[in-house]
Amino acid sequence: MDLSTATWRKSRHSAHDGGACVEVANIPNTVALRDSKNPDGGHILVTREDFRHLTETLKNL
């Protein structure tokens, strides 16, 4: 999947010094994830449903 035109975002709670952050991009029917320190290093693609489940699970830890 070509993600060269994707708009990547990271949490407003992320440190401004670029620390260890995960960035997300909304792609049709998919959420793409990448490491902000290594944006060309690889991506994880998940369905919107799986992403919602992941974030809900993390919030409940």
| pTM of the predicted model as reported, rounded to 2 decimal places | 0.80
Q: What is the pLDDT of residue 59?
A: 92
pLDDT digits (tens, 9 = 90+) for 32-61: 999 988 888 899 999 999 999 999 999 999
Query: In the chain, helix, strand, coil percent, each to 5?
Result: 20, 30, 50
Q: Measured between alpha carbons, how far is 24 from 40 in angstroms, rounded to an integer?
A: 14
> Per-domain residue ranges for the chain?
9-59
Percentage of the residues of the chain whose pLDDT score is greater than 70: 92
* Segment 16-22 mean pLDDT: 71
